[in-house]
Structure 1
Amino acid sequence: MYDPAHFLPSFVWRAARDGFIQYANPWACRYLGIELDELIGRHWREFIHHQDEECVLNALRQMRDTLLSNVDVRLLRVDHEFRWHTLHLQATRDQEGRIADTVGVAIDIHECRHAWELYEASERRLQAAFAGARMGAWEWDMTTRVVRMTAQLAEMYSFPPGTESAMLSEIWDRVAPEHREPFQRKLAEALHERGPFEFDFVLDGVATSRRWVRMRGNPEYDARGVLTRVYGVSFDISDHRADEERLSLSERRYRALVESTGALIWSADANGEIHPSSGDWQNFTGAPRDRLSRWGWLDFIHPDDREQTRKAWLAALRQGGPCTLTFRMYRRDGVFRMVQAQAAPLYDERGNLQEWFGTTTDVTPRYEAQAAIEARSLRLTVAMQAAKIHIVSLELATWSLMFEIVGKQRPEPAETVTYEAALARIHPDDAPTLDRYVRRLAAGDAPGEQFEFRVKDSDGERWMQGSALLQRSNDGKPLRIIGSLIDITERKHMELVLRESGRRKDEFLAMLAHELRNPLAPLRTAIALLQKDETLSTRTDDLIELMRRQVEHMTRIVDDLLEVSRITQGRIALKTEPILVGTAVYHAVEAIAGMVESRKQHIQVDVPDATTWVCADVTRLSQILVNVLNNATKYTPEQGQISVSVEADQDWVSIVIADTGTGISADLLPKVFELFSQGERTLDRSNGGLGIGLSLVKKLVEMHKGTITVQSPGPGLGTTVTVRLPRLHHHERHSAMALTDGSGLETQAALRVLVVDDNRDAADSLAMLCESEGHVTRVAYSSEEALAATQFDADVALLDIGLPDIDGYELARRLRRKGASAPLLVAITGYGQAEDRLRAQSAGFDYHFVKPVNVESLLKLLSSLTTERPAGRIAEQ
């Protein structure tokens, strides 16, 4: 009798009611490694794992209305290994309605079970890693507009506990109102560029306070370029601490085992022409059997798999041995299903191939489960890459450390090292603290949520910030420590820079307070002496000279501060003109000659070519050279040497100023041009300044398209400063303009001067100064008094700008009628920016003085005035 099961490449047996085997096909005999004669009469329990016996008995007990049942069991193979099979049981009844015997067909699912166990292990490890990272993960389904989220993200967005999904609009509505428009704009730009994105925004929590959130994500598009989903992670950066999180992507997992094999049975002749042997083929494909016969079955294979499957079948025919083919096959509902065909050859007694027998099983669930695992692993990997997280695992049984590879479809250990070797890579100052943290965590304590340490590598040191959790076994014993690490080197460097900047700021404020107190002390003493009895009148000139020097010193301090601010903000415009370098050098030396003489120093000037020219701003070039020379004389001891030399080549002019002073240490030398940078300041170095001189000089030199360098062999070995400026050649148009002021205009015997200032001391002292030169003055302490003094008929009006009732601009317009030339208007103000001078000019002022007023310049102006003066011009004083 023809028995198809005899040739079926699957495990088939039949057992009696008492469980003793009555029949087994050759495939089962080969699997068990027992001949059929020896197998008949043995109980089926001998070949099933003892833990699975009860499962089989339960399946048999449940056979009531239907005589079919399935159960997963482990069958003993010939090599004494138990392998998982799905056992399909079908029973028959005797005349009394009782179960007579049972037929079992076993399908090997061991590899599928093993793959599922690997997946679950990988899933647990990744979930534990994301929980250790304390991040919130999400996935936006752009088709349904549904957001799937982790519990951490739901808590971060103030959703009720247990929320796993929400509408996309609900997520966006939780963004703070003032951040909502930038959030949507940045998101639209990121999705348009189709790449990973990252940006920060503020959440307006319902149950919690507002918090900053950093979101990193990646969009996904289908084959037509349509956005299908966006996935990523979010974490709270309000206090740079990630909340405990676990990444959960709530998607349906494919079942690893198939409820029914749905096997299609077929046979083929020696030439490989297929003959379907049952009606299941027609039920599966929806086509009649004659269309599937011979080679017609190839038409139902997916076009991409058709040629490869045909070649594989022909190769099996040539080899003449069992084979397994996997391909996609058309199903009657229009869907291509992944199937697996297994074929075994049948030979006659003489060894001639007669025919083939085989089965074709739908294995789509298995492949879909594998694809889901790979896609899930890929999404988790991309999320970790977006968050820049490194995953480490410390196995406490062996104290070995494993680093996860990010970027593969399935995370694998990239490197395994001992705990001691890993600890040796940590900075010596941080290793003990980190070791205590790890050992306390391994002991079950909670040492803290985060830790920081430095790692030594080929590039130097890198700062890492991490968090970790302890994973226990089912019986509660510590199993492993899983942690996440983030590189925070850049943030640490920024912290060091800010700390250094704060230190220099504090030092600068201390120096500023010291420098401002220095001139205030003698000023207060001089005023106290002047208030004493008249016997001090013989020393009045000395006291006045003392006060003048200190006021000038304070003025220089304030001017330096304002100058740095103006240059930094780009509010200084150079008035360049051809200048003889030798003239500029000699004028600068002349300006500091008094200081050199008082300190008994020796200065040498060497200008070999007196006709060397540069194009520069007269005032700023003098400021550069005087500032450098001031530093040289301040830091050079008595009897010290200072030299100034000029060298020129075809393109550049170099002005070299060298001294034999205190020099500059190697650690300070790279910072001499930084704002507020100074060497060590001691109590006896009261002339150290504010540390802004060289910074100001460098900016001025660069505005002239030049360079400045400072060299010093070390402390006590002197300093050399070299200023290089572009050379102006003889063939270029130039004029030898002197650095000194031009001659004044013809003087007028006496002027009528109106002084307006709400500060009585300032107004009275300024009037007394004008009267000392023979001028007639009238003082007004308010704008109303000034307007009432029309009969005074002033030639000159010295006006304060910041008057309380009517400001100086409006007063100027009222004092001088439109078209008139008198009185000549002079602004006396504390506002000295460029826009302040422009505003004064538009108000009608002729001259502009900045407080404290340069007395010599003001007196020189008054002495140079004539009845005819230029109109519509504002002069900087």
Structure 2
Amino acid sequence: MDRPANQNRPTVDAVLARISDGYYSVNSAWQFTDVNRQALQILDCSAEDLLGKDLWEVFPGLRGSVFEEGYRRVMLQREPEELKAFYPDHQRWYEVQAYPTGDGLSVYFRNVTDIVNVDAKLKQSEQRLQKMADSIPQIVWICDAQGNLQYINQKWHEFTGFPFDPLLVQDQISAILHEDDRDVTLRAWERSRSDGRAFYAEHRMKSASGEYRWFMARAQPEIDPETEQILGWFGTSTDIHEQKLAQMAAETSEARYNSLFNSIDEGFCVIEMLFDSAGNPFDYRFVDVNPVFEAQTGLHDAIGKTARQMVPQHESYWYEIYGDVALTGQPVRFENEAKALQRWYDVYAFRIDAPEDRHVAVLFKDITERKVTERQLLLDSQRKDEFLAMLAHELRNPLAPISAAADLLRLAQPDDARVRKSSEIISRQVRHMTSLINDLLDVSRVTSGLVSLDSAATDLRQILLEAQEQTRPLIESRRHHFSSTMPSETMIVRGDSKRLIQIFSNLLNNAAKYTPEGGIISLRGEVRENEVDIMVADNGIGMSASLVKNAFELFTQAERTADRAQGGLGIGLALVKSLVELHGGRVVGSSAGLNEGSEFRVTLPLMVSHAVHVPLDDEPTHNALEPLRLMVVDDNEDAARMLAMFLEAAGHEVIVEFESRRALERAAIERPSVCLLDVGLPDIDGYELARRLKRNPDTADMILIAITGYGQEKDRLNTAQAGFSHHFVKPVSTDALMALLTEIAVSRQPG
């Protein structure tokens, strides 16, 4: 006879309590009829919360879920089902077994969230591992304890062209290993398998393209912790081809370096920079030196010692330079004097090794002898400039009386034709010598960068007229046919009118000199956009191709004739080129060959401005000068007398003195309007004489004109500072002097 249901209950409860899964049952109305303790713990509720309650109301999240679908199928079909799904309300995964019982169903369930997550992570990890293995640049492989490959990543196929086949891969490996590396690799592998140590080998493998490349193979054994037996191997093969080649090259380079290190004839050392706590370099230690080091420095047994130990007075700038190289890694080339060693060095310093090592390599050469030579050359150059200035001064001194005498003869206009002819010859030769001296000094100034332009808007037409006027006597004396063709456009340039005249008069002079008598010389101008071209052409002796190439080099000259009539200093065209470039222009020369004539083209930038006309002064009319009382002071008596005679012939009253002290006394008594002073006076020089005249109230308003053989910019500055109003270079241009005196006379006229 069956027991009542309530009599079986303790047994059922005991069974349910021992079940590790959660359990609950529902009737056909979906009401909870039973639940065990594990279910209450999993669901975090009490029996009162469930028993007699509607399943769908207690757990509304079941509606529409996989669980609802499964439960209804079990209830309807009376067949058990296993379900696993995510329940959003609990944020958990549940694994469920549902059975039909009586008129309802029984549900056994457990929380499998951790298991699902582990499985998901494991799957994700495996996927990532596979992707990583296929993406890393190495060939990744796994083999068993016997060395049979079980896995190899995609890089194997990419490199060899072979798909992974466990049955073929061993033969494939043997086939692609370089024959010289096969035995070494096999011995290393067998040694690792026998002693369980990590496997390492470097060998060459052949790629799908047939190229052998160096690989580094490494593998670690997987050890059974209980039996300590090898279970398998995890390995990689890394392409080290470039590194291997670099290593072999480095080894070769190291050998060459050692050979070079010991054979170069320049000093070489490696130093370690030492810094204080503030990061400032204060010393360095010699790490290595080559054999020449001692000969170049005079220092012995330097390795391991510091610079301050070896050379206590070593200058601080050496530490600063090398310290900067060590910190920045920027190499530096410099020349410096090591005063403590009494030597000069040409040094190249660069950082080597790791930056934190603070190592600097220093390649150096003793250039003391060269520096001494350079210093001597500099002194010689200075002496040369001084000599040129003195030469010009000494040459100009005798020119002054010659020039004045020639001008006096010209003014006197004697009836004797021979006197007139002699006067013309003297004047012409004086102008020629003056031009040579000026060119000589100009070249010296240009090559030294001492020429500055007094630039202004200038009408190039007027410049060319001035240049023609200056060269007209030479052109006429050689009976040349001269023509000038200028464009209708204005030709305004920014330049120094004096230097521009010098450029074109030089070119015209050359054309006249190097064209046989009765030749043809032309001067043409062309305006092109923002530039103007001026061409000076002749049908003279022409130039060879080599001369055209070097025409503008200093001291380049054409072939001289036997009588040297067309000789010169070889500096004219060099000066022309320098002056043209100072004006922002360019000059080129051309010739069809010897005896085919030459053409020189000067190109200058035009100014975008209104035309500026620079009218030329009319020929000076010396007899129109207003009489002035003048004083001439010069210790060269011939020069003083000839200048005085010329000025008297022009109608002026002239006082002459040869000594500074007499001139001071005479000036205070006679009170001349203008005083022409030679600067190089022996007793009191012209500068001091000028200052004293300006300090004396009786002579303070006197106009002072410097007459000197020195014409450089600094000389003009010195005369201006001493009180001179004007500066004339010997031989004095009488036209310019007469024009100045005319201006002074006019300015002193009443009204």
TM-score (norm 1): 0.46
Deviation at 1:699, TM superposition (A): 2.7
Equivalent of residue 573 in structure 1, options 434, 438, 453: 453
Aligned positions of 1:712-751 closer than 5 A: 712-728=591-607, 732-740=609-617, 750-751=627-628
Q: Does 1:772 align with 2:649?
A: yes
Equivalent of residue 861 in structure 1, options 733, 737, 740: 740
Aligned to 2:293: 153
Deviation at 1:556, TM superposition (A): 0.8
Q: Does 1:813 align with 2:691?
A: yes
Greater CA drift, 739-748 or 163-172: 739-748
Equivalent of residue 139 in structure 1, options 245, 264, 270: 270
Deviation at 1:632, TM superposition (A): 1.2
Equivalent of residue 167 in structure 1, options 286, 293, 306: 306
Equivalent of residue 682 in structure 2, options 791, 804, 829: 804
Which residue identity is paired with 2:663? A
> Secondary structure of 2:286's partner?
strand
Q: Which whole-Å CA distance do the structure 2 matches of 1:228 and 1:854 have between them?
A: 70
Q: Give 5+ residue unaligned stretches, structure 2.
A: 1-185, 188-248, 275-282, 371-376, 410-415
1:338-388 CA distance string (max 9 Å, x none): xxxxxxxxxxxxxxxxxxxxxxxxxxxxxxxxxxxxxxxxxxxxxxxxxxx
Q: Does 1:186 align with 2:321?
A: yes
Q: Which whole-Å CA distance do the structure 2 matches of 1:580 and 1:200 have between them?
A: 48
Is the alpha carbon distance of 1:699 and 1:600 closer, same or farther for their aligned partners in structure 2, counting shifts above 3 Å? Answer: same
Aligned to 1:480: none
> Secondary structure of 1:654's partner?
strand
Deviation at 1:634, TM superposition (A): 1.2
Which residue identity is paired with 2:351? P
Is the alpha carbon distance of 1:645 and 1:191 closer, same or farther for their aligned partners in structure 2, counting shifts above 3 Å? Answer: same
> Secondary structure of 2:627's partner?
coil
Equivalent of residue 635 in structure 1, options 485, 498, 514: 514
Deviation at 1:719, TM superposition (A): 1.0
Q: Give 5+ residue unaligned stretches, structure 1.
A: 1-29, 32-117, 241-497, 531-536, 871-877
Aligned to 2:640: 763
> Secondary structure of 2:727's partner?
strand
Is the alpha carbon distance of 1:142 and 1:605 closer, same or farther for their aligned partners in structure 2, counting shifts above 3 Å? Answer: closer
Give the conservation status (yes or no) of the 8 Å contact 1:745–1:866. Answer: no
Q: Does 1:219 align with 2:351?
A: yes
Sequence identity (%): 38
Aligned to 1:130: 261
Equivalent of residue 585 in structure 2, options 706, 710, 718: 706
Q: Which whole-Å CA distance do the structure 2 matches of 1:122 and 1:654 have between them?
A: 60
Is the alpha carbon distance of 1:668 and 1:184 closer, same or farther for their aligned partners in structure 2, counting shifts above 3 Å? Answer: farther
Give the conservation status (yes or no) of the 8 Å contact 1:651–1:727. Answer: yes
Equivalent of residue 558 in structure 2, options 657, 679, 682: 679
Aligned to 1:754: 631
Is the alpha carbon distance of 1:855 and 1:153 closer, same or farther for their aligned partners in structure 2, counting shifts above 3 Å? Answer: same
Which of these two proteins has the greater Rg computed from alpha carbons? 2
Q: Which whole-Å CA distance do the structure 2 matches of 1:553 and 1:119 have between them?
A: 71
Which residue identity is paired with 1:755? V
Which residue identity is paired with 1:133? I
1:551-575 CA distance string (max 9 Å, x none): 2221111111223344442433234
Equivalent of residue 661 in structure 2, options 784, 789, 792: 784
Give the conservation status (yes or no) of the 8 Å contact 1:710–1:719. Answer: yes
Give the conservation status (yes or no) of the 8 Å contact 2:533–2:604. Answer: yes
> Secondary structure of 2:427's partner?
helix
Give the conservation status (yes or no) of the 8 Å contact 2:633–2:663. Answer: yes
Aligned to 1:840: 719
Q: Which whole-Å CA distance do the structure 1 matches of 2:698 and 2:494 have between them?
A: 39
> Secondary structure of 2:262's partner?
helix
Which residue identity is paired with 2:614? M
Aligned residues: 463
1:259-318 CA distance string (max 9 Å, x none): xxxxxxxxxxxxxxxxxxxxxxxxxxxxxxxxxxxxxxxxxxxxxxxxxxxxxxxxxxxx
Calculate the aligned-residue CA RMSD, in Å: 4.4
Aligned to 1:229: 359
Aligned positions of 1:430-579 closer than 5 A: 539-568=418-447, 569-579=449-459
Q: Which whole-Å CA distance do the structure 2 matches of 1:120 and 1:611 have between them?
A: 74
1:595-615 CA distance string (max 9 Å, x none): 233323222322352755445
> Secondary structure of 2:507's partner?
helix
Deviation at 1:794, TM superposition (A): 1.7
Q: Which whole-Å CA distance do the structure 1 matches of 2:260 and 2:455 have between them?
A: 65
Q: Which whole-Å CA distance do the structure 1 matches of 2:581 and 2:253 have between them?
A: 61
> Secondary structure of 2:263's partner?
helix
Aligned positions of 1:304-453 closer than 5 A: none
Please identify which structure carries the higher helix content: 2
Is the alpha carbon distance of 1:864 and 1:746 closer, same or farther for their aligned partners in structure 2, counting shifts above 3 Å? Answer: farther
Q: Which whole-Å CA distance do the structure 1 matches of 2:725 and 2:251 have between them?
A: 87
TM-score (norm 2): 0.53
Q: Which whole-Å CA distance do the structure 1 matches of 2:649 and 2:620 have between them?
A: 22
Is the alpha carbon distance of 1:645 and 1:823 closer, same or farther for their aligned partners in structure 2, counting shifts above 3 Å? Answer: same
Deviation at 1:549, TM superposition (A): 2.5
Q: Which whole-Å CA distance do the structure 2 matches of 1:648 and 1:228 have between them?
A: 64
* Relative contact order, higher structure (CA 8 A, sep 6+): 2
1:216-251 CA distance string (max 9 Å, x none): 4443575xx6444334454545679xxxxxxxxxxx
> Secondary structure of 2:587's partner?
strand
Is the alpha carbon distance of 1:655 and 1:794 closer, same or farther for their aligned partners in structure 2, counting shifts above 3 Å? Answer: same
Deviation at 1:785, TM superposition (A): 0.6
> Secondary structure of 1:709's partner?
strand
1:538-591 CA distance string (max 9 Å, x none): 85554444333322221111111223344442433234234263x544443344
1:647-705 CA distance string (max 9 Å, x none): 22332222222211111211222222222222333433333322222222223333333
> Secondary structure of 2:452's partner?
coil
Which residue identity is paired with 2:322? L
Q: Which whole-Å CA distance do the structure 2 matches of 1:787 and 1:819 have between them?
A: 11
Q: Which whole-Å CA distance do the structure 2 matches of 1:784 and 1:632 have between them?
A: 50
Aligned to 1:625: 504
